[in-house]
Structures are given as C-alpha cells and as structure tokens.
Amino acid sequence: MTSASLDAALSAAERRFIDANPRSRARHERARAVLPGGHSRQTLYYAPFPLTVAHGEGARITDVDGHEYLNLVGDFAAGVFGHRSEPIHQAVQQAMRSGISLSGPNTHEVELAELISQRIPSIQQVRFCNSGSEACLFAAQLARHATKRPKLLVFNGAYHGGFMVFREGDAPLTVPIPVIKATYNDVPGTRALIRAHAAELAAVMVEPMMGSSGCIPGAPEFLAMLREETTVAGSPLIFDEVMTSRLGPGGVQGLRNMQPDLTTLGKFWGGGFAFGAFGGSRDLMRHLDLGAGGSLSQGGTYNNHVLTMTAGLIGARDVYTSDACNRRNALGDFLREELNAVGRSLDIAFQATGIGGVLNTHWCVGAISQPSQVQAAASPKRRLYHLCMLERGFYIAQRGMVNLSLPTTEADVAGFTRATREFLIEHIDALRLP
C-alpha cells in the first residue's frame, strides 16, 4: 500500500462532494467576485469550496443543496446554545421592541458584568468590547501600560485573535508588539525565559487550553509555574479564555483553581451575538477609570449593544447555567474517550485531545503537548476525514475540531462515534500510512 491509495480516496471524496453540492459551489463562485477568497472568515474556508448554510435548528443545519448535518463545528466554540434558544430569542425580541442603539448605558450591562464576576472571581472588574480578538489586544495593551514594560511572552503556535497570531511565519496582520516566544507546556524552558526577561516583560499571555492549535490542554504544573513566575517577575498573567471559558462554570481557571491577573472572554458570552470582554484585578482595571485617575480611554460604539447585553445575560444566567455547563462538558469528555477507544481498538494512529465539550481529532500516536506535534489542517488524512464525515451528515471543521452545543444529544454523540469507526474501517489501509 502506498500514498497513492490515500490520494485516490481523497480525490474520489472530493469528486463526490462537488457533485453533491452544486448550489454551494455556485454561491462560492459568485462570492469570489466581491469577497476575497469568496468568504469573510478564513476559518470557514476549505477546499474545494465551503458549504453555504441556509438554515439552523437545534444542533442541526441545512445547506442550500438541502443536505442536513449535525453541526459539530459549533461556530468554533461560540455556538454553545445551538441555532435557536427560546429564552434568548424571546429576550432579544423584547429588547428590540424597547429600542436599539440607545446611546447610553442600558439595563442589562451591569447585570452581565456582575454575573461574569460571580462566575470568574479573578475578574473583579470587566470591560466589554466586540470580539475575543479585541479583548486580547486590549488586555495586552493594558498590561504594557500598567507595567511600563514593552514585551509579551507568548507561545509558539498561539492564536489570540486576528490581531495576534504567533505561528511560524507570523501573519502580517499581527500587531507589532515585541514578543518573546516560548514552547507550550515546556516548564523549565518557559521559566528560564520569564526570569531572563523579567525587567522588560509586561505580561505572559496564554490559553489554559490551546484551542485553534489543536485543543492542547495546559499541564497543571505548567500553568502553576506561570502563576508563580509571573508573580515574582511582577508581570501580569493573562488567561485567554475566549474559547475555554465554556469548559467549566468558572472557565479553565476555575477547574484548575487558579487566579490570573487578567482574563479575556468572547464567543458564547454574547448569547449568539458579537461579544468580547476583558477584566481582572481592580488594581489593573483602574487604569481604565478616567474618573479615578486612569488614563486609558477605551471606546467602541457597540461595546454595550443592548441586544448583545440582553442575549449574553439571559444565555449565561438562564440557559448555560453551571449545571448545564457541567453536563455538556461531561458529554464532551465521554465523546473524547470514545473516539480514543476507537483508535486503540483498530490499532490506528487516531486520537482526540481537549477538555470537555471542545476537542480536536489528530492523526498521530503519543501525547500531544504543543502545536508542533499537530498535523496541518489541509493534510490529506484530515481532508479525507472531513469530506467523508460531511458525506455521512456530520459537519466538523477540516482541522478536526468538534464543539458540542446544548442541543447535542447522547444519541448524536453515539452516531458520530459510530460514523468515525465506519470511516476508519473503510479506509484503514490508507490511513495507516505515515
């Protein structure tokens, strides 16, 4: 068996995809005339073209060619509520009847801020913005201002939003903040870098589980070392929990019993609307209080948009409650264990990593502790799995990411596991190739 068998399987899957989705193909060709690449969001593109989604209900979507899928992309961790949550829908309708773009503080933002602070005690004060990308940039600049130091320590392969991409060959859109790069989960190496650069280190920014780079959990001893060393260095520790705050009632910091100095939020906290937030200790957040001597003026027309504040409050308070959060993440842990059992039972290099309801499949054996061990999203095995799972009615990300929403059932998870097993058996010879 040679790599030709994998290439042949991929070519056949791609031809079937093209034949089955003529309307999505036509939409993509039309979009290319007015949208660079035919899209507005790079994460949604995959070859030969992305499906155009026409409708969503519960945990399922329907594309313009009439095919229904179990949506396991989950809008890359933002879509925790599914495609229609009745409490959020009703609250937003009521808010719209009361008027939008109200030009002042509204009646929901304080309640949402209080709820965030209750759920995540390290956030004594919070500021809202419009995305997780904004939140991470604001947090980094706040730390640089507060410490009067220039540099951030970040991790190779990290993604902190569209402005802060720290993969090999940094994206030109990344803001020109001076950075020191360390290796994720490398305790001695990162400790040495923090100590060596302490005098110029404004902050250490880290995801407690790397999300976009493959759902790689931070080892407890690694995260504990970061807390210890940043305290000694006087450099704020920033937890990027834009993606991971859904993994426990108090985020991953709650699961690990940790208190960072600043935390960034986004995604599900907006109840389905564009949202970002950053917050932390009063000592740091005071720099944003112009009435009390602060000098950082943070603006944003839609920072407290009444629809976002309403949906965010109802979604987090009434729908994604602590109990609902724990149940969803227990189902995600179960799915990850089942997928790993399938790989072991077939003696194939297939596994899943992650925490709770956010996970990623991989085509390798052995523990994955850093992004350099993760296969590229466009690799042949990832592409074949992606196209074949779409064919079976499961909408996943090409990079193998799965995000469970509240409407996802145990039967859905069982069906996905069963379909994965069937795929692996069907292509087992090609997939066993290195």
Whether residue 48 has a cis bond before it, omega within 30° of 0: yes
Segment 261-288 mean pLDDT = 97
Task: List domains and CATH numbers for the chain.
Answer: 1-39 (no CATH), 86-319 (3.40.640.10)
pLDDT tens across 319-353, in order? 999 999 999 999 999 999 999 999 999 999 999 99
Whether this prediction's pTM lies above 0.85 is answered by: yes
Segment 302-313 mean pLDDT = 96
pLDDT tens across 212-257, in order? 999 999 999 999 999 999 999 999 999 999 999 999 999 999 999 9
1 has pLDDT over 60: no
170 has pLDDT over 80: no
pLDDT tens across 368-412, in order? 999 999 999 999 999 999 999 999 999 999 999 999 999 999 999
Write the CB contacts of 12 (distance below 8 Å, at least 6 apart in sequence).
Answer: none
